[in-house]
């Protein structure tokens, strides 16, 4: 059994729905869940004004309908499952520390900012600032796993301290900018200026990429740890060949302006 | 020309961010127009001569003339009924009017943004991320011996910048003017400013970040490959020479324009330049300043920062200010079709926004305040005609170096000022907010009585 939330009224302006979260639903009856507040622009309404709620409480949450105007779904969640059967809006899983979110469609900007744990999987594309720091904060995600099967836009992994971001398609500019540690794997094309200002961490791509003048070629080798990562991604349903698992990678060190302890690994067949 | 001539000394020109306050205006008081603006540049002369009094209604609703009071009532009702109202513009009005606009947005729980978000907004983000090593233009005039312009054309956008502050101006430690200074210009093409520069560096379009990053690396003593020339169009020798000049100058200054902030990379371009400035302070004194365009866009940043804590893109929908460019900036809220009413003050987004944003602007009620008819006032539901700041009204504006300057109006306008309209609108909105609260508490009381 699951808890089904079906959108019956499309919002006219953006809705902030941080209350759609297993943590907030815990211990509540259906009637109580329906009265949880959401912000429709500047007016406070309830979940029942937009959603039909039915099913079993305490189970996996399923969301139906076009949720591209709903922000902050799964915000701050620490456990449980949310499955979004369509598109979703900005700030998905903001500051989540555990649990899992699965999105069948696309997600808006700021997927999982300030995340510290848990897992997000998006079957479609995502916007700017995936797994990044909020403006004014120097540190992005502290942990967790974000897997996006489609493309992402600029600044994925901005300032990330730990965790893993995987992009099945192409990434935008400044991927892994100012990153402190962690891993970003882009199976498609990496945008320009990747790793600008990075201190440590790894950015991996399977295609040729433009390098900043402050990155220098180190060697070509077969990173052992990458085999484990790639095998795991293959098992997660991403398009990884055997050659990507055991093949050669060029290692570029950078960013020389900072510690020069980060790396960009480029697959070489 | 009539006999009734007045001279206004030390008047202020509010056309560009230089905010020159040494104008001597000759005003024909009968015809209500400025016939001569001594000391003004070509842009200032046009600004003063073209702001005459036009015969037009002070307020209109859907193109029909109405009284100002009726228009204020309609505007207040429109804003109060909106769930995601936005306030935008503000760069061509006084700080006093900007204050009122912040208060209105707070009352209506809306989103406030200024034209900063489409010009130096990226610099605003970079200031927050990197920090700013700042100064006043007077300091530059008196001390700077290395002046670097990046992605701007001041000869045409700020014509008096060179002569008043940065190139030919003679100062305390620069008694010989231009002879005591080295002027460097970075741009992607030759412009009217190029002949002024001692060193002109032409880089390939969209390669600002790479050049700045290479400069940073060289300042920090790292090696850069000679292939940088092929990529950016600037040779390694040129970069090394510039780095030596930057490290060895007495007082260096960067002025950067929209060629840097509005090309690919945006806030990272501004950020790289500010970070380079920080790096250079290990060797000498170096400062950086955006060359701001509109007369009081700097004031808009200052007023918003002082009142809300953030310079632009501020949302009040939950009752407290939140800052998130990309989410709350006007081009984004309009392009995504989110805003459901707009209050636009002294700005013409319908003439320069992306098509999706303008299309959405046409579909929602818009309230405008402008001294002239514009494409935006033409599509407005409620349009106020206001007096021109600096010509008809007094007040305060901020120069591009954050120095506040008072205005001396030349002649009176039959139209109210932005500040007057916004103050009345704020009062009416506040009344409606209080009435709403009373209604709610009355409702609560009656429900509890019934229960």
Chain B contact set for A173 (CB, 8 A): 264-265
Closest partner CB to A196 (pick from B110, B268, B338): B268
Q: Which residue from B minimizes the CA distance to A257?
A: B217
Backbone angles phi, psi at A188, to 5 degrees: -90, -145
CA distance A216 to chain B (A): 9
Backbone phi and psi for residue B357, each to the nearest 5 degrees, phi listed first = -70, -45
Residue B448, CB half-sphere, CA atoms under 13 Å: how many? Answer: 6
**Predicted confidence (pLDDT) per residue in A227-241, tens digit:** 999 999 999 999 999
* A15-16/A37-40 β-pairing: antiparallel
Query: How far does the CA of residue B319 sit from the closest CA of chain A (Å)?
Result: 8
- In a domain, residue B216? The reply is yes
Does a structural domain hold residue B81? yes
- In B, which residues are within 8 Å of A41 by CB distance? 82-84, 109, 317, 340
- CA–CA min distance A171, chain B (Å): 14
Q: Does A252 touch chain B (CB under 8 A)?
A: no
Considering the domain boundaries, does residue B67 fall inside one? yes
Which of B290, B321, B338 is the C-terminal boundary of a domain?
B290
Q: How many CA atoms lie within 13 A of B371 on its CB side?
A: 20
Collect all residues of chain B within an 8 Å Cβ-Cβ radius of residue A257.
Answer: 213, 216-217, 220, 222
Per-residue pLDDT band for B445 (boundaries 50, 70, 90) equals low
The dihedral formed by the CA atoms of B259, B261, B262 and B265, expressed in degrees to the nearest 10? 110
Q: Is A27 on the interface with B (CB under 8 A)?
A: no
If you write DSSP's letter for every residue of B354-410 in order, what string do you get? -HHHHHHHHHS-EEEEESS--HHHHT-SEEEE-PPBTTTB-EEEE-TTS-EEEE---
Position B339 scores a pLDDT of 96
Domain-located, residue B451:
no
Would you call A237 an interface residue with chain B, using a CB distance cutoff of 8 Å? no
Looking at residue B309, its pLDDT comes to 94
Q: Which of A71, A133, A213 to mutate to test the interface with B (most CBs of B within 10 A)?
A: A213
B383 and B334 in a common domain = yes
**Alpha carbon of B145: minimum distance to chain A alpha carbons (Å):** 27
- Return the residue of B nearest to A210 by Cα: B231
Integer Rg of chain B from CA: 24
pLDDT class of B446 with cuts at 50, 70, 90:
low
CB atoms within 10 A of CB B36: 15
**B351 and B390 together in one domain:** yes
Residues B153, B194, single domain; the answer is yes
Write down the residue that tokens 């995504």 correspond to.
B336
Which chain A residue's Cα is nearest to B84? A41
- What pLDDT sits at residue B441? 72
Helices (H), B82-207: 95-107, 121-129, 137-143, 154-157, 161
Q: Which residues of A touch B316 (CB under 8 A)?
A: 42
Compute the mean pLDDT over every residue in chain A, rounded to the nearest whole number. 95
Radius of gyration of chain A (CA): 19
Residue B448 has pLDDT above 80, yes or no: no
Nearest-by-Cβ selection for A42 from B83, B129, B231? B83
In the structure, what pLDDT confidence band is assigned to residue B233 with cuts at 50, 70 and 90? very high
**Is A153's Cβ below 8 Å from some Cβ in B?**
no
| Total domains present in chain B | 3
Structure tokens at B180: 């005591």
**Last residue of a domain, which of B263, B290, B317?**
B290
Nearest CA in chain A to B318: A42
Give me the pLDDT at residue B449, please. Answer: 54
Are B299 and B392 in a shared domain? yes
Cβ–Cβ < 8 Å for A6, A61: no
Structure tokens at B85: 């109202």
**pLDDT tier for residue B1 given thresholds of 50, 70 and 90:** low
Q: Is residue B33 part of a domain?
A: yes
- CB spacing of B224 vs A214 below 8 angstroms: yes
Q: Which chain B residues have any C-beta within 8 angstroms of a chain A C-beta?
A: 82-84, 108-110, 125, 128-129, 209-210, 213-214, 216-217, 220, 222, 224-225, 227-228, 231, 264-265, 268, 316-318, 323-327, 338-340
B268 and A128 within 8 Å at the Cβ level: the answer is no
Q: What percent of chain B has pLDDT over 70?
A: 98
Is A212 in Cβ contact with B83 (below 8 Å)? no
Within a domain: B449:
no
pLDDT of B444 reads: 64
A-chain residues within 8 Å CB-CB of B224? 213-214
Whether residue B240 has pLDDT greater than 60: yes
A 10 A CB-CB count for B398 gives: 22
Return the percent helix, strand and coil in chain B, to nearest 5.
Answer: 40, 20, 40
B212 contact residues in A (CB cutoff 8 A): none
Ranges of chain A whose pLDDT falls below 70 = none
* B415 and B332 in a common domain: yes
Is the same domain home to B285 and B299?
A: no
Q: In chain A, which residue's Cα lies nearest the Cα of B279?
A: A257
Using the beta-carbon criterion (under 8 Å), do A13 and B83 form an inter-chain contact?
Answer: yes
d(CA B124, CA B126): 5
Which candidate, A217, A218, A219, A223, places its Cα nearest to that of A204? A223
Residue with tokens 């610099």: B123
Which neighbouring-strand residues pair with A249?
A221, A267
Tell me: do B146 and B97 sit in the same domain.
no
> What single DSSP character describes residue B172?
S
We report the CATH number of the domain holding residue B193 as 3.40.228.10
Three-state DSSP at B96 gives: helix
Cα(A15)–Cα(A159) distance, integer angstroms: 28
Residue B405 and residue B399 in contact, taking contact as beta carbons nearer than 8 Å: yes
Between chains, do A90 and B327 touch, taking CB under 8 Å as contact?
yes
Q: Are residues B173 and B222 in the same domain?
A: yes
- Chain A residue nearest residue B122, CA to CA: A135
Examine the fold and report which residue of B258, B290, B322 is the final residue of a domain before the chain moves on. Answer: B290
User: How buried is B185 (Cβ within 10 angstroms: 0-12 exposed, 13-18 middle, 19+ buried)?
Assistant: buried
Q: What is the mean pLDDT of residues B48-66?
A: 94
Which residues on chain B are in Cβ contact (under 8 Å) with A18? none
Kind plus residue range of the DSSP H or E element containing B166: none
CA distance A136 to chain B (A): 6
B427 contact partners, CB below 8 Å, separation of at least 6: none
Contacts by B278-281 with C-beta closer than 8 Å and gap 24+? B278/B130, B278/B131, B278/B133, B279/B216, B279/B219, B279/B220, B280/B219, B280/B246, B280/B247, B280/B252, B281/B133
Contact A13, B83 (CB under 8 A): yes
Q: Are residues B137 and B251 in the same domain?
A: yes
Q: Are B288 and B277 in contact (CB under 8 A)?
A: yes
Residues 6+ apart with CB under 8 A from B221: none
Domain that holds residue B90: 57-118+295-442
Q: Where are the beta strands (DSSP E) in A31-131?
A: 37-40, 43-46, 51-55, 61-64, 70-71, 81-85, 100-103, 119-122
| Interchain CB contact of A13 with B (< 8 Å) | yes
pLDDT of residue B451: 45
- Does residue B447 register a pLDDT over 80? no
For position B439, what pLDDT does the model report?
79
CATH number at residue B420: 3.40.50.740
What was the pLDDT predicted at A217?
96
Which residues, in sequence order, are CB contacts of A52 under 8 Å at separation 6+?
Answer: A4, A5, A6, A8
Task: Choose among B259, B222, B131, B152: nearest CA to A212.
Answer: B222
Question: In 3D, which of A148, A138, A261 has the Cα closest to residue A199?
Answer: A261
Q: What is the mean pLDDT of residues B408-420?
A: 95
| Cβ within 8 Å, pair A14-B84 | yes
- Look at residue B309 and tell me if it is in a domain: yes
Phi first, then psi, for residue B207 (nearest 5°) are: -110, 15
What average pLDDT is seen over chain B?
94
Contact list in B for residue A193 (CB cut-off 8 A) is: 209-210, 265, 268
B151 and B283 fall within a common domain: yes
B266 and B125 share one domain: yes
Rounded to whole angstroms, the Cα distance separating B174 from B194 reads 22
B83 and B110 in a common domain = yes
Average pLDDT over residues B373-390: 96
Residue B447 lies in a domain: no
Q: Do A213 and B213 touch (CB under 8 A)?
A: yes
- Which chain A residue is nearest to residue B232, measuring alpha carbons? A213
Q: Do B317 and A39 touch (CB under 8 A)?
A: yes
């Amino acid at each position: 059994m699951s808890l089904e939330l079906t959108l019956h009224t499309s919002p006219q302006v953006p809705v902030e729905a941080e209350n759609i979260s297993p943590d907030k639903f815990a211990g509540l009856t259906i009637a109580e869940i329906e009265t949880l507040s959401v912000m429709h622009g500047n007016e406070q309404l309830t979940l029942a004004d937009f959603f039909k709620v039915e099913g079993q409480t305490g189970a996996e949450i399923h969301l139906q309908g076009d949720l591209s105007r709903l922000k902050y779904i799964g915000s701050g969640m620490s456990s449980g499952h949310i499955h979004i059967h369509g598109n979703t809006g900005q700030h998905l899983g903001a500051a989540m520390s555990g649990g899992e979110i699965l999105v069948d469609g696309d997600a808006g900007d700021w997927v999982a900012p300030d995340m510290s744990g848990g897992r997000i999987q998006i079957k479609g594309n995502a916007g700017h600032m995936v797994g990044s720091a909020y403006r004014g904060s120097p540190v992005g995600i502290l942990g967790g796993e974000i897997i996006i099967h489609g493309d992402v836009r600029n600044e994925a992994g901005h300032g990330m301290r730990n965790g893993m971001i995987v992009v099945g398609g192409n990434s935008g500019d400044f991927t892994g900018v100012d990153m402190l540690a962690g891993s970003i794997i882009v199976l498609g094309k990496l945008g320009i200026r990747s790793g600008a200002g990075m201190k440590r961490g790894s950015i991996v791509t399977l295609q040729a990429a433009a390098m900043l003048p402050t990155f220098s070629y180190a060697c070509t080798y077969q990173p052992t740890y990458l085999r484990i990562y790639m095998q795991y991604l293959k098992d997660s349903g991403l398009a990884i060949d055997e050659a990507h698992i055991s093949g050669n990678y060029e290692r570029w060190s950078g960013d020389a302006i900072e510690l020069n302890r980060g790396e960009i690994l480029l697959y070489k067949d | 020309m009539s006999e009734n001539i007045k001279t206004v000394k030390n008047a202020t020109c509010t056309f560009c961010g230089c905010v020159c306050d040494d104008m001597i205006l000759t005003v024909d008081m009968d015809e209500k127009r400025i016939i001569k603006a001594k000391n003004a540049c070509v842009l200032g002369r046009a600004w003063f001569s073209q702001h005459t009094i036009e015969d037009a209604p002070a307020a209109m609703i859907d193109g029909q003339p109405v009284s100002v009071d009726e228009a204020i009532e309609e505007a207040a009702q429109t804003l109060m009924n909106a769930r995601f109202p936005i306030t935008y513009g503000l760069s061509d009005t006084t700080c006093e009017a900007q204050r009122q606009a912040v208060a209105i947005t707070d009352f209506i729980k809306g989103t406030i943004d200024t034209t900063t978000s489409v010009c130096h907004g990226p610099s605003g983000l970079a200031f927050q991320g990197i920090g700013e090593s700042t100064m006043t233009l007077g300091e530059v005039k008196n001390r700077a011996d290395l002046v670097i312009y990046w992605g701007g054309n001041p000869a045409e956008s700020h014509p008096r910048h060179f002569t008043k502050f940065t190139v030919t101006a003679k100062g305390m430690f620069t008694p010989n003017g231009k002879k005591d200074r080295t002027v460097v210009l970075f741009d992607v093409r030759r412009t009217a400013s190029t002949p002024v520069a001692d060193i002109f560096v032409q880089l390939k379009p969209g390669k600002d970040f790479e050049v700045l990053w290479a400069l940073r690396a060289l300042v920090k003593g790292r090696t850069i490959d000679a292939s940088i020339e092929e990529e950016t169009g600037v040779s390694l020798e040129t970069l090394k020479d510039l780095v030596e000049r930057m490290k060895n100058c007495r007082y260096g200054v960067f002025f950067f324009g929209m060629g840097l902030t509005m090309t690919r990379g945006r806030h990272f371009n501004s950020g790289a330049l500010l970070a380079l400035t920080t790096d250079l302070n290990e060797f000498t004194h170096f400062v950086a300043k955006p060359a701001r365009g509109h007369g009081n866009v700097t004031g808009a940043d200052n007023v918003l920062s002082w009142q809300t804590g953030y310079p632009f893109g501020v949302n009040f929908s939950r009752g407290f200010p939140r800052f998130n460019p990309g989410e709350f900036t006007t081009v984004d809220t309009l392009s995504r079709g989110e805003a459901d009413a707009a209050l636009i003050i002294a700005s013409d987004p319908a003439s320069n926004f992306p098509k999706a944003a303008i299309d959405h602007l046409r579909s929602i009620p818009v309230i405008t305040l402008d001294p002239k008819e514009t494409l935006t006032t033409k599509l407005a539901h409620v349009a106020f005609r206001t007096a021109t700041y600096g010509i008809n009204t007094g007040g305060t504006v901020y120069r591009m170096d954050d120095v506040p300057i008072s205005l001396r109006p030349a002649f009176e306008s039959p139209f109210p000022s932005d500040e007057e309209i916004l103050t009345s609108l704020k009062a009416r909105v506040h009344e409606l907010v209080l009435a709403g609260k009373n209604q709610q508490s009355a409702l609560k009381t009656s429900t509890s009585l019934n229960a």
